[in-house]
Amino acid sequence: MSKAKTEKPVCVKPWHCPRCGADCSGLTNNTKDQGEAVGYYITCHCGCEFIHWENVTYEPYGVEVDGETYVYSGKEGDLRLTIPTYNDQQEEPCDYSRPNLVTLRQETGLRVILGDPDDGNAPDLLIERTPDRWRIIVHPDSSDPMCVIEFTEKTATVTPDTSDTPVLTQSRGSQERV
């Protein structure tokens, strides 16, 4: 085990430059497979060369710079996934060179964090199961919910957080509005 001569990175986030913290998604030069992992070689605009590592199921694992690997933070048990950027204006709509982080976190329900979970301002969806329905609580940022989407056996509803009355109700199993 060699000790790193360099200082600890200022930023340890998937696809971000460990030196300057810039978002480097889309700057991949090359990839390499190593056992059950895949590394993405990235050169930041600041000149820093680093490797973003993912495991065999493409969950972000850590960043390697100057021969040292720093594991990404996050709560234990988080499942981190990446999805491509979908752009139907392009010939190939799924752009894998522009990956986006999605984190699944088990709480009393399942929280789906869209973007960087360390940001504190990423939108998230909290999915809960009650005896008779699925409930999805939509958070636009770290503040109060914006609306609640519920699926019962027969209906789907969208209710603003400021009201008890759904603004949209639809029968399930048909397109008919009720």
Footprint of Zn ion (CB under 5 A): 17, 19-20, 22, 44, 46, 48
Please check whether residue 42 is in contact with residue 22, taking contact to mean a CB–CB distance below 8 angstroms.
no
* Cβ closest to Zn ion, residue 10 vs residue 37: 10
- Cα–Cα nearest to 133, from 154, 152, 157: 152
* Cβ closest to Zn ion, residue 49 vs residue 118: 49
* Cβ closest to Zn ion, residue 44 vs residue 147: 44
* Cβ closest to Zn ion, residue 39 vs residue 105: 39
Q: Give the nearest distance from C-beta 48 to Zn ion in angstroms.
A: 4
Beta-carbon neighbour count of residue 6 at 10 Å?
12
Please check whether residue 30 is in contact with residue 97, taking contact to mean a CB–CB distance below 8 angstroms.
no
CA distances from 47 to 16, 18, 34 (A): 13, 11, 24
User: Three-state SS for 2?
Assistant: coil
Q: Give the nearest distance from C-beta 47 to Zn ion in angstroms.
A: 7
Q: Count CA atoms within 13 Å of residue 9 on its CB side.
A: 27
Q: Give the nearest distance from C-beta 39 to Zn ion in angstroms.
A: 17
Q: Give the nearest distance from C-beta 116 to Zn ion in angstroms.
A: 16
Q: Give the nearest distance from C-beta 30 to Zn ion in angstroms.
A: 18
CA distances from 164 to 5, 58, 92 (A): 59, 41, 43
* Cβ closest to Zn ion, residue 27 vs residue 158: 27
